[in-house]
Amino acid sequence: MLQLKNSVVADFDASNWRELGALTNKLDEVEGHDRLLRSLSWKDPDYEGLALTFIRKMIGSNDENLSLVQDYISKKCKISGEDISSEQSDSKKVIFSPSIFNVPSDPVDSNLVSVMMPFSTNLSPVYSSIQLAATNAGLTCTRADDIWDHSTVIQDIFSLIFRSFIVVCDFTGKNPNVFYEAGIAHTLGKHVIPITQVEQDVPFDLQHHRYIKYLNNTEGVGVLKSALESRFLTLSQKRNPKWL
């Protein structure tokens, strides 16, 4: 709410208030208020408080106009932060300004699958099977050790997850880094596919999600490839046409 208010205070003019008022059935209140547009015009000190009050009114007591207000403000203002919803839907969206990570300038790549897994040589056949499944589904696949764009590994990982459409997380061995990366992927609204060799390695909070169990042998990674390929093809149908 404060982020929306700050953007409005920085960039809104009277016509923006009238347009948003018309969209949210609050035009009469905007034009009839004795202070809002006057305070905007004269840059009075009470303008910020009035802006916040009107944004709250326009969103509605039950947030019924939240998406409408956010979309309008994001189009008219230079909002500090990013819309991080991986699916462009009419559902509520989250606007954020992370303090730990830099938000990438590159958009989401609807063909990109990223893999979060321990960097262990014995898992190389597993990663190869994931790559092959992605290729067979018409997608590209990578993981953090395939790139080096930033001085800190975690920034590269965040950027990779941010740009990905699908994120595969291998929970084998209860690797804390993978747990952390899965949390980032879920927060960013990505399609997360958990895989594991041992079902007990899946965190309790995620055990209600479907996961793919596999064996790390020739037959097992072959089965994993087939299961992932099928899942990739299903998720590919959910891609926004604007990304293609």
Roughly how many angstroms between the first and final C-alpha of the chain, as a whole number?
A: 33
214 or 72: which carries more pLDDT confidence?
214
**Residue 34 scores a pLDDT above 50:** yes
Express each pLDDT in 79-127 by its tens digit.
544 444 444 445 556 666 666 777 777 888 999 999 999 888 899 999 9
Predicted structure pTM score? 0.61
SS3 191: strand
Q: What is the mean pLDDT of the chain?
A: 85
Q: 3-class SS at 162?
A: helix
Residue with token string 């993978």: 178
pLDDT value of residue 80: 45
Q: Looking at the predicted structure, is the pLDDT value of residue 159 above 80?
A: yes
For the cut 90, the answer to whether the pLDDT of residue 194 exceeds it is yes
Q: How many CB atoms lie within 10 A of CB 234?
A: 11
Q: Strand pairing of 212-213 and 82-83?
A: unpaired
> Distance between CA 24 and CA 109 in Å, rounded?
33
pLDDT tens track for 221-240: 999 999 999 999 999 887 76
Q: How far apart are CA 169 and CA 154, in angstroms?
A: 16
Rg of the chain taking only CA atoms, in angstroms: 23
At 152 the pLDDT is: 63
SS3 233: helix
Whole-angstrom Cα distance, residue 104 to residue 156? 10
DSSP letter at 93 equals -
CA distance 50 to 183: 37
**DSSP states of 231-243 as a string?**
HHHHHHTTS-GGG
Residue range 197-209, pLDDT digits in tens: 999 998 887 777 7
181 pLDDT more than 90: yes
